[in-house]
């Protein structure tokens, strides 16, 4: 349930501190990197659990994900859009200790390789890199949109990864609620978008 708590906190921050996050994003990124490195070093300590288990990174990514499923004029969506780039970058930074530990454990023969998780992490890399304005400016709009479509593959594989690797039943229930909720909202959003486009083209 720690993911639910993180989602509440991150939502509040996006709603009330969006301008602060955008203004100080570089400092926040550096702080996140330092925290992630320390979490990896202290991976056996209970304080590192939210990072090593990927809970915080997942929470950032879920807000990035759900933003695209909310109605365009929804006030919460507008607040999320304001920090979507920052949250995407932070999500990758905070998910990295979890991913890297699993890879190292696999290389050491301590666990089986989770292909779903590995593919998700690898696909996140180009999205992470192109989230930075300096990189995005060098891309065409078409290339940008094509690359962003990878996100939908990530969402599906991430859902499978979570369902196959949950440790507590309450976490399984939470993942089902969050992701099924997203898929329903996104489907509704896309259908409504299609109908509006169809009616305006007549």
Give how far the C-alpha of residue 148 lies from the chain's centroid of Cα atoms, to the nearest Å.
Answer: 13
pLDDT in tens, 70-91: 998 899 999 999 999 999 999 9
Predicted local distance difference test score (pLDDT) of residue 1: 77
Predicted local distance difference test score (pLDDT) of residue 68: 93
Evaluate if residue 166 carries a pLDDT over 80: yes
Evaluate if residue 50 carries a pLDDT over 80: yes
Evaluate if residue 197 carries a pLDDT over 90: no
pLDDT band at 142 (very low <50, low <70, confident <90, very high): confident
Predicted local distance difference test score (pLDDT) of residue 30: 98
pLDDT band at 202 (very low <50, low <70, confident <90, very high): low
Helices 115-129 and 141-148 sit at what angle, rounded to 10 degrees?
Answer: 160
Candidates 93, 61, 54, 56; CA nearest to 80 is 61
pLDDT band at 147 (very low <50, low <70, confident <90, very high): confident
Q: Mean of the per-residue pLDDT values for the chain?
A: 93
Asked if 182 and 158 touch (Cβ cutoff 8 Å), the reply is: no
Q: By residue range, what is the domain housing residue 140?
A: 2-200
Q: Among residues of the chain, what percentage have pLDDT more than 70?
A: 99
Evaluate if residue 200 carries a pLDDT over 70: yes
pLDDT band at 201 (very low <50, low <70, confident <90, very high): low
Asked if 93 and 29 touch (Cβ cutoff 8 Å), the reply is: yes
d(C-alpha 7, C-alpha 56), whole Å: 9
* Tally of domains in the chain: 1
pLDDT in tens, 170-195: 999 999 999 999 999 999 999 988 88
């Amino acid at each position: 349930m720690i993911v639910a708590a993180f989602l509440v906190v991150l939502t509040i921050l996006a709603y009330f501190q969006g301008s602060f996050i955008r203004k100080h994003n570089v400092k926040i990124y550096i702080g996140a990197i330092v925290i992630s490195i320390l979490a990896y070093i202290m991976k056996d300590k209970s304080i590192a659990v939210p990072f090593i288990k990927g809970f915080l990174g997942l929470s950032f990514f879920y807000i990035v994900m759900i933003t695209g499923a909310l109605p365009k004029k929804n006030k919460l969506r507008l607040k999320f859009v304001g920090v979507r780039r920052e949250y995407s970058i932070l999500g990758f930074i905070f998910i990295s200790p979890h991913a890297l530990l699993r890879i190292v454990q696999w290389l050491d023969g301590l666990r089986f390789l989770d292909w779903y998780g590995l593919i998700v992490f690898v696909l996140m890399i180009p999205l992470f890199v192109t989230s930075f304005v300096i990189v995005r400016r060098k891309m065409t709009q078409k290339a940008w949109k094509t690359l962003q479509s990878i996100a939908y593959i990530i969402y599906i594989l991430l859902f499978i990864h979570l369902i196959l690797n949950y440790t507590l039943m309450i976490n399984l229930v939470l993942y089902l609620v969050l992701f099924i909720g997203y898929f329903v909202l996104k489907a509704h959003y896309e259908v409504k978008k299609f109908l509006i486009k169809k009616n305006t083209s007549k």
